[in-house]
C-alpha cells in the first residue's frame, strides 16, 4: 500500500515538473514570438522592444539581430540597422539575407565598395536572386566600373516595375559612358516606350536627345545620293481614251533616276541649326529622250528645337529655289517658303503642321492669256502619326488644302487632299511603307478649250519595301499607282511606275 502511494506521488511530481519546464520554455520564447507578430502587424516600436528582450535570452541566434536590423530600417534608422546586420554576420558569416540587406543599406549610405563586397557574397550563392543584379550594377556604376555595371544589369531579374525602369536607365547611362551611344539611345527609348509614366521617362528623353544633338554637332556636312532604275507605263500621261489620237504615241519607257544632295551646316547651336544645301536631280528616259528632266535646287533651312513642358517640338523654316529643265531646256523656276511645326506629344503621338507658299514662273508664254500657268500657290495642312515599338511601326493620317492663283483662268483651282499611310517593320528591319492620297481639284473658271469647268479626282497609292544594308546604305523596291479621273477626257489618265533603288547617306 505504501509503495502504491509512493508511485502516485512520484508521478504527480513528474507531471508538475514537466508542466513547469514547458511553461518556462513558452515564457522564454514569448518575447521573440511577440516581436515577430508586432513586426508583421507594422508595430515596429513594440517589435523592437520585444526583439531586444529576445536577443538577451538567445545571444547566439543570428536571426534575432537580423530582424532587429529590419525593424530599424522600418523606423528609418539605417545606421543602427547596419550595426545589427553586422552583428548577425558575426554570428553567421554565411547569412546571405544579412549580406544582401547590409549591401542595400550601404548603397544608400554611398559606401559602394563595401556594398559590393557584401552583394558579391550573395551573388556567388544566389545569382538569380531578385533585384540583386540591379543593386550590384548600380554600385559598380557609382564606382566607375561600367563594363561590370553592364554585366550585372543585363543579368538582373526583378518583378518590381520601378527597379525594371532603373535597370534600363542605368544600362543606358553605362553604355553612354563606354561610348556606345547607339545602344544607349536604344535603352532610353525602350524605357520611354515600356513605361511612359515612369519618372525616368523625361530624363531618358532628354538624354537621348542630347546624344543625338552631340552627334549632329560633330557633323557639318551631309551628303545624300540616290539612284533608281524605273519602268513607267505612261511617261507622257496619255489619257485613258484616245483623245486627239494620243494613245497611238509611245508612252512606255525604262528610266534612270539620279539624285545628289549636299548640305552644309552654317550655324549649329544646341537649340537651333542654320544650313544651306544644293540638290541635283536627273532622269534619263531611254525611249523618249525629249522627256529627260533635270532640276537644280538651292535651299536655306532654319531649324529650332525646344520643349513645351515635357513635349519636344521642332520648328523649321525653309526657303528653296529650283530651276527645272525639260529636254535640257529651261522649263520653269520656283520659289518656295515652307514653315513646319513638329510636336511630339509622347512616344506614341507625333503631329506635323505645315504651310507652303510657292511662286512659279514658266519660260514659255502661251498664245492665249487664259493658258498662262505662272501662279502663286498656298497650301496648309497637318499629319498625325500614331507610332509603336520605338516608331518601327506607325499609322498616319492628314489633310491639306491648297489654292492656286494662276495668271491664266484655265489653271486657277482649289484642292482638298486627304493622306493616310502605314509603316510596318518586319524581322531583319525590312520596312513596308504604304501611302495613299486622295485629292479633289476644282478649277475656278470655264476651260476655254472644252467649254466647261474642270473637275479632277486624283488617287495615288505608293508601296515601298526598304532595308538598311550597311552604314548609310539602303535598298528599296517601289510601286506607284496613280489614277486621275476628270470630267475632261484629256486629263483622265492612269500611270504605273515601278522602281528599284539604292541610297547612300553620309
Q: Are 440 and 416 in contact (CB under 8 A)?
A: yes
Q: Are 247 and 274 in contact (CB under 8 A)?
A: no
Q: Output phi, psi for 128, to 5 deg.
A: -90, 0
231: Cα within 13 Å, side-chain hemisphere: 4
Return all residues near 290 (Cβ < 8 A) that are at least 6 apart.
326, 327
Cα angle for residues 2, 7, 11 (degrees, 5° grid): 150
Domain ranges of the chain: 2-213, 223-505
User: 207: which 3 cell numbers?
Assistant: 538624354
What is the average pLDDT score of the chain? Answer: 89
Give pairs for 304-312: CB < 8 Å, separation 24+: 304/271, 304/272, 305/213, 305/270, 305/271, 305/272, 306/271, 308/343, 310/202, 310/205, 311/343, 311/344, 311/345, 311/346, 312/205, 312/209, 312/343, 312/344
Per residue in 461-479, pLDDT (tens digit) is 999 999 999 888 999 999 9
The pTM assigned to this predicted structure is 0.63
Q: Specify the pLDDT at position 216.
A: 63
Q: Specify the pLDDT at position 1.
A: 40
Answer yes or no: is pLDDT of 16 > 70. no
Q: For residues 168 and 184, what is the distance between their CA atoms, to the nearest angstrom? A: 9
Per residue in 327-339, pLDDT (tens digit) is 999 999 999 999 9
Q: Are 325 and 364 in contact (CB under 8 A)?
A: no
Helix (H) or strand (E) holding 155: helix 146-155
Answer yes or no: is pLDDT of 20 > 70. no
Answer yes or no: is pLDDT of 11 > 80. no
- Encode burial over 374-393: b for 16+ CB neighbours within 10 A, e otherwise: bbebebebebbbebeeeeee
Q: Specify the pLDDT at position 215.
A: 67
Alpha carbon separation from 141 to 147, 341, 432 (Å, rounded): 9, 39, 40
Answer yes or no: is pLDDT of 378 > 50. yes
Q: Specify the pLDDT at position 6.
A: 41
Q: Specify the pLDDT at position 323.
A: 97
Q: For residues 429 and 393, what is the distance between their CA atoms, to the nearest angstrom? A: 11
Helix (H) or strand (E) holding 340: strand 329-344
Share of the chain above pLDDT 90, in %: 61
Per residue in 87-131, pLDDT (tens digit) is 989 999 999 999 999 999 999 999 999 999 999 999 999 999 999
Q: Are 422 and 434 in contact (CB under 8 A)?
A: yes
Share of the chain above pLDDT 70, in %: 93
Answer yes or no: is pLDDT of 283 > 90. yes
Answer yes or no: is pLDDT of 288 > 90. yes
CA nearest neighbour of 500 among 482, 476, 483, 484: 476
Q: For residues 151 and 134, what is the distance between their CA atoms, to the nearest angstrom? A: 10
Q: Specify the pLDDT at position 12.
A: 36
Q: Which fold has domain 223-505?
A: Porin (2.40.160)
Q: Tell me which residue has cell 547566439.
A: 60
Q: Specify the pLDDT at position 5.
A: 35
Q: For residues 230 and 210, what is the distance between their CA atoms, to the nearest angstrom? A: 40
Residue 435's SS3 state is strand
Per residue in 178-204, pLDDT (tens digit) is 888 888 888 888 888 887 878 887 788
Mean pLDDT of 126-155: 91
Q: For residues 384 and 380, what is the distance between their CA atoms, to the nearest angstrom? A: 14
User: 253: which 3 cell numbers?
Assistant: 519607257
Answer yes or no: is pLDDT of 26 > 80. no
Q: pLDDT band at residue 41, thresholds of 50, 70 and 90? A: confident
| Pairing label, strands 453-470, 430-446 | antiparallel
Q: Which residue has the higher pLDDT, 5 or 70?
A: 70
Q: Specify the pLDDT at position 10.
A: 35
Inter-helix orientation angle 132-142/146-155, to 10°: 170
CA nearest neighbour of 35 among 45, 23, 25: 45
Most confident of 65-79, 307-321, 444-458: 444-458
Q: For residues 203 and 189, what is the distance between their CA atoms, to the nearest angstrom? A: 11
Q: Specify the pLDDT at position 390.
A: 75
CB-count exposure of residue 185 (10 Å: 0-12, 13-18, 19+) = buried
Answer yes or no: is pLDDT of 3 > 60. no
Q: Which fold has domain 2-213?
A: 1.25.40
Per residue in 433-456, pLDDT (tens digit) is 999 999 999 999 999 999 999 999
Mean pLDDT of 342-349: 90
Q: For residues 294 and 332, what is the distance between their CA atoms, to the nearest angstrom? A: 11
| Pairing label, strands 293-308, 453-470 | unpaired
Quickly count: other Cβ atoms within 10 Å of residue 98's Cβ: 28
Amino acid at each position: 500500500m505504501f509503495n502504491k502511494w509512493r508511485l502516485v506521488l512520484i508521478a504527480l511530481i513528474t507531471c508538475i515538473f514537466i508542466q513547469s519546464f514547458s511553461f518556462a520554455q513558452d515564457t522564454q520564447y514569448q518575447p521573440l514570438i511577440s516581436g515577430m507578430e508586432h513586426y508583421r502587424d507594422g508595430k515596429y516600436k513594440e517589435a523592437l522592444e520585444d526583439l531586444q528582450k529576445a536577443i538577451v535570452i538567445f545571444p547566439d541566434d543570428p536571426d534575432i539581430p537580423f530582424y532587429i536590423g529590419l525593424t530599424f530600417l522600418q523606423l528609418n534608422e539605417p545606421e543602427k540597422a547596419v550595426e545589427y546586420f553586422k552583428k548577425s554576420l558575426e554570428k553567421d558569416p554565411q547569412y546571405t539575407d544579412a549580406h544582401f540587406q547590409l549591401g542595400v543599406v550601404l548603397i544608400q549610405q554611398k559606401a559602394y565598395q563595401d556594398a559590393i563586397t557584401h552583394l558579391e557574397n550573395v551573388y556567388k550563392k544566389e545569382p538569380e536572386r531578385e533585384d540583386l543584379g540591379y543593386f550590384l550594377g548600380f554600385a559598380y556604376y557609382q564606382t566607375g566600373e561600367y563594363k561590370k555595371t553592364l554585366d550585372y544589369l543585363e543579368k538582373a531579374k526583378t518583378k518590381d516595375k520601378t527597379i525594371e525602369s532603373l535597370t534600363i536607365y542605368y544600362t543606358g547611362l553605362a553604355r553612354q559612358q563606354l561610348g556606345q551611344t547607339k545602344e544607349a539611345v536604344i535603352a532610353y527609348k525602350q524605357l520611354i516606350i515600356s513605361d511612359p509614366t515612369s519618372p525616368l521617362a523625361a530624363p531618358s528623353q532628354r538624354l537621348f536627345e542630347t546624344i543625338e544633338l552631340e552627334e549632329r554637332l560633330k557633323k557639318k556636312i551631309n551628303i545624300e545620293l540616290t539612284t533608281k532604275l524605273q519602268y513607267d507605263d505612261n511617261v507622257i500621261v496619255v489619257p485613258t481614251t484616245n483623245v486627239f489620237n494620243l494613245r497611238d504615241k509611245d508612252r512606255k519607257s525604262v528610266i534612270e533616276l539620279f539624285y545628289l544632295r549636299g548640305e552644309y551646316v552654317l550655324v549649329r547651336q544646341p537649340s537651333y541649326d542654320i544650313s544651306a544645301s544644293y540638290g541635283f536631280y536627273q532622269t534619263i528616259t531611254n525611249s523618249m529622250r525629249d522627256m529627260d528632266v533635270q532640276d537644280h535646287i538651292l535651299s536655306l533651312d532654319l531649324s529650332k528645337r525646344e520643349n513645351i513642358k515635357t513635349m519636344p517640338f521642332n520648328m523649321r523654316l525653309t526657303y528653296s529655289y529650283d530651276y527645272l529643265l525639260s529636254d535640257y531646256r529651261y522649263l520653269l523656276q520656283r520659289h518656295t517658303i515652307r514653315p513646319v511645326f513638329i510636336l511630339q506629344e509622347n512616344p506614341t503621338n507625333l503631329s506635323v503642321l505645315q504651310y507652303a507658299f510657292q511662286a512659279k514662273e514658266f519660260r514659255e508664254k502661251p498664245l492665249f492669256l487664259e493658258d498662262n500657268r505662272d501662279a502663286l500657290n498656298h497650301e496648309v495642312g497637318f499629319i498625325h502619326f500614331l507610332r509603336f515599338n520605338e516608331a518601327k511601326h506607325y499609322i498616319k493620317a492628314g489633310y491639306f488644302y491648297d489654292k492656286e492663283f494662276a495668271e491664266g483662268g484655265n489653271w486657277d483651282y482649289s484642292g482638298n487632299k486627304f493622306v493616310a499611310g502605314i509603316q510596318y517593320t518586319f524581322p531583319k528591319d525590312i520596312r513596308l511603307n504604304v501611302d495613299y492620297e486622295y485629292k479633289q481639284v476644282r478649277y475656278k473658271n470655264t476651260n476655254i478649250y472644252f467649254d466647261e469647268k474642270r473637275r479632277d479626282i486624283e488617287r495615288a497609292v505608293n508601296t515601298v519595301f526598304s532595308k538598311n544594308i550597311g552604314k548609310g546604305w539602303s535598298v528599296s523596291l517601289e510601286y506607284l499607282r496613280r489614277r486621275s479621273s476628270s470630267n475632261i477626257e484629256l486629263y483622265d489618265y492612269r500611270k504605273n511606275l515601278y522602281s528599284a533603288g539604292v541610297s547612300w547617306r553620309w
